[in-house]
Chain A
Amino acid sequence: MSKNPNAPAGTFHPVSAPDFLPLPQLRALQLQRLKQIVERAYERVALFRQRMKERDLTPEDVTRLEDISKLPFTVKTDLRDTYPFGLFASPMQEIVRLHASSGTTGKPIVVAYTREDVQVWTNVMVRSFAACGLHEGDIIQNAYGYGLFTGGLGAHYGAEALGATVIPISGGNTQRQLMVMKDFGTTAICCTPSYFLHLIDQAEEEGIRLKQLPLRAGVFGAEPWTESMRRRIEADSGIKAYDIYGLSEIVGPGVAMECECQAGPHIFEDYFYPEIVDPKTGKPLPDGEEGELVLTTLGKQAMPMIRYRTRDITALASDTCDCGRTLRRIKRISRRSDDMFIIRGVNVYPSQVETALLKVEGALPHYQIVLTRERDLDVMEVQVEVTPEVFGDTVGALEQLQQKLSRSIESTVGVRANVRLVQPRTLQRSEGKAKRVIDQRKL
């Protein structure tokens, strides 16, 4: 494949060639892979076969890409119900890696990779890094957690395969992060955007001027964030902040990644086929319309996911990006279809509460929203973990913090909330997407 003439100079990596495939070629590749994966899942995954049979479908019914909309959805509870290995399409001898996402209700979900799957994952991560202008010679500080969470190892393999130098520092230990960043000359960092905001604050406290360091790019993901967070990060640290999207059910990080145009993450469509559906009816929606993102893995052997409901609300942008990539982009994910709740007639998304907390604290604390009903009146309580950064030693300082948080939520969300400060590590957490809302109302 030849280099795309539209690609900006310096950003092209040989592995990125599929990013620039002409659309007819890309669609043909997708169809070919879709047929293969449907066949594989049909042959090897009992649940999928059963659902296909219920609909009188066989893999032969997929002859065009549009036929995908006939296929049954896969939902998160399917992964729980078949815990741990029920959706695997490969024998354990062929599986080289297991990851798991921490469950907020009971058992985690387990995902598997064959050697080939790990290569695919590495490939999309290399393309992710290349898309935001990183290359051989870059020093990438990988502050995603290493372990069962897919973030750490996913970014690690990709950065190494890119030819960059990886610092596998994992998450946490802010002072060490800053020391390494400064002493090793880190040029790019991978972490959650809220953690980077925390690093910015800590650097300032320690008199480290991020703007004078070689650091120039941040690959931020694993939690929803906002354009205002991006502006703040870029203004305060002098780096470019890029949005990476992924979920372990599909592969981990590297499902979609922003290019240097920062116009929303490009989905690596040759491996992950995107659809947008109406979250209520499941009906497919055209590009540009907002709905739930549904993804089908086109190249995953160990655990094919057919039409997986991500619960992320977004829209697909199919207009040509200035970078020349033919891959469609997802709009910033502002909310999740299962997270919205209605309180006193107002639609509330946890991301709004997040914005409000962020405004006061600078970094996003761990929080949880608890909804109760007291004498026919809905009450929203936001439990916020106290962090060392905001803990003042006097009652007055804490009460002030409580009031500020409460006012900020009311002005952002439009509903009054009781803020309860709680001890650290008392709220359930996950390194991916946490369950933020607990609805105890008996309606």
Chain B
Amino acid sequence: MKVKQLSLFLENKPGALSHPIKLLAKAGFNLLTLSLADTQQFGILRLVVRDWQKAKKRLESAGFVVKVTDLVALEVADEPGGLARVLACLEKAGVNVEYMYGFTLKHEGKGLLAFRFDDPDQAIAALQRKGMKPVSSAELFKRLED
């Protein structure tokens, strides 16, 4: 149910972002989604790729610090209140959203969001109780290739 995400530490300076992106491009990795969190001094690049173990090795051998974290990919109805319903469910379960960002693909009128929770398993359980089903990695990759 969980999707692996790679987080990279970057310094906030020109070229810092393009270096890992070029590296992954050269090695033939397609980025399913990514987001960038930044402060004045540093940033964290977060990305999802299919073959994350290989990508991690490749990045690490180039000297990057890479952390693997679990995301939950969730379909959210593309209509007013779609996201609010999901958040309400999580709030009730006491799960904290650390951050979230979107996938570019849309499926059957639903948008797809990537969530980072403090407790992914608890979040998944809470969502499932409300009939909301996270999208698995396998399903995610299948859709992207269709």
Instruction: Report chain A residues within 8 Å CB of B116.
Output: 393
* A contact residues around B41 at 8 Å (CB): 420-421
A425 interface contact, C-beta 8 A? yes
Decide yes or no whether A1 CB sits under 8 A from chain B: no
In the complex, A47 has a CB within 8 A of chain B: no
Q: Which chain A positions have C-beta within 8 A of B39?
A: 395, 398-399
Partner of B67, one of A393, A395, A420, A426: A393
Closest A residue to B66 by CB, please name it. Answer: A388
Say whether A423 contacts B9, CB under 8 Å.
Answer: yes
Chain A 390-422 interface mask (CB, 8 Å, partner B; 1/0): 011111001100000000000000000000111
| Residue pair B65, A398 in contact (C-beta under 8 Å) | no
Assembled-state Cα–Cα distance A422/B11 (Å) = 6
In the complex where A422-B11, A423-B9, A423-B10 touch, is A398 in contact with B67 (Cβ < 8 A)? no
Instruction: State the CA gap A74–B44 with chains docked (Å).
Output: 48
A282 at interface (Cβ–Cβ under 8 A)? Answer: no
- Which residues of B from 21 to 78 have beta carbons under 8 Å from A? 37-39, 41-42, 44, 46, 63-67, 69
In the complex, whether B99 has a CB less than 8 A from a CB of chain A is yes
A423 adjacent to B67 (CB under 8 Å): no
Q: In this complex, what residue of B is CB-closest to A421?
A: B42
Contact with A along B74-108 (1 / 0, CB 8 A): 00000000000000000000000011000000000
Closest chain B residue to A390, Cβ basis: B65
Which residue of B is nearest A392, CB measured? Answer: B67
With A393-B116, A394-B44, A395-B44: A424-B65 Cβ-Cβ less than 8 Å:
yes
B65 touches A393 (CB 8 A): no
Which residue from A391, A394, A420 sits with its C-beta under 8 Å from B65? A391
For the complex, what is the distance from the CA of A420 to the CA of B13, rounded to whole Å? Answer: 13
Q: Is A165 engaged at the interface, CB distance under 8 Å to the other chain?
A: no
Give the chain A neighbours of B37 by CB distance below 8 A.
394-395
A394-B98 in contact (CB<8A): yes
A197 close to B (CB within 8 Å): no
A421 in contact with B44 (CB, 8 Å): no
* Inter-chain contacts of B11 with A (CB < 8 A): 421-423, 426
Given contacts A393-B116, A394-B98, contact A386 B63 (CB under 8 A): no
Task: Say yes or no: is A387 at the interface (Cβ < 8 Å to chain B).
Answer: yes
User: Given A386-B9, A393-B116, are A398 and B44 neighbors across the interface (CB < 8 Å)?
Assistant: yes
Question: Which of B10, B16, B63, B116 has most A Cβ within 10 Å?
Answer: B63
A393 to B68 alpha-carbon distance, docked (Å) = 8
- Closest CB-CB distance, A220 to chain B, in whole Å? 26
A398 contacts across to B, CB distance below 8 A: 9, 39, 42, 44
Chain A residues lying within 8 Å of B7, measured Cβ to Cβ, are 391, 393
Among residues of A, the one whose C-beta sits closest to the C-beta of B19 is A423
Complex CA distance for A401 and B143, rounded to whole angstroms: 39
Task: Provide the bound-state CA to CA distance between A399 and B41, in Å.
Answer: 10
Shortest beta-carbon distance from B101 to chain A in Å: 13
- Residues of chain B contacted by A425 (CB below 8 angstroms): 63
Contact B63 A424 (CB under 8 A): yes
**For the complex, what is the distance from the CA of A424 to the CA of B9, rounded to whole Å?**
9
B42 adjacent to A393 (CB under 8 Å): no
**Chain B nearest Cβ from A422, distance in angstroms:** 6
Residues of A within 8 A of B46 (CB): 393
Q: Given the interface contacts A393-B7, A395-B37, does A424 sit within 8 Å of B64 by beta carbon?
A: yes
Which residues 349-403 in A have Cβ within 8 Å of B in the complex? 386-388, 391-395, 398-399
B9 to chain A, nearest CB (A): 5
26 contacts between A and B (CB under 8 A): A386-B9, A386-B65, A387-B65, A388-B66, A391-B7, A391-B67, A392-B67, A393-B7, A393-B44, A393-B46, A393-B116, A394-B98, A395-B37, A395-B39, A395-B44, A398-B9, A398-B42, A398-B44, A421-B41, A421-B42, A423-B11, A423-B63, A423-B65, A424-B63, A426-B11, A426-B63
Given contacts A388-B66, A393-B44, 15 further A-B contacts (CB under 8 A): A387-B65, A388-B67, A392-B67, A393-B7, A394-B37, A394-B44, A394-B98, A395-B37, A395-B38, A398-B42, A421-B41, A424-B64, A424-B65, A425-B63, A426-B11
Closest 4 pairs between A and B when the two form their complex, measured CB to CB: A425-B63, A393-B7, A391-B65, A386-B9
A interface, CB within 8 angstroms of B: 386-388, 391-395, 398-399, 420-426
Interface residues in chain B, defined as those with a beta carbon under 8 Å from any beta carbon in chain A: 7, 9-11, 16, 37-39, 41-42, 44, 46, 63-67, 69, 98-99, 116
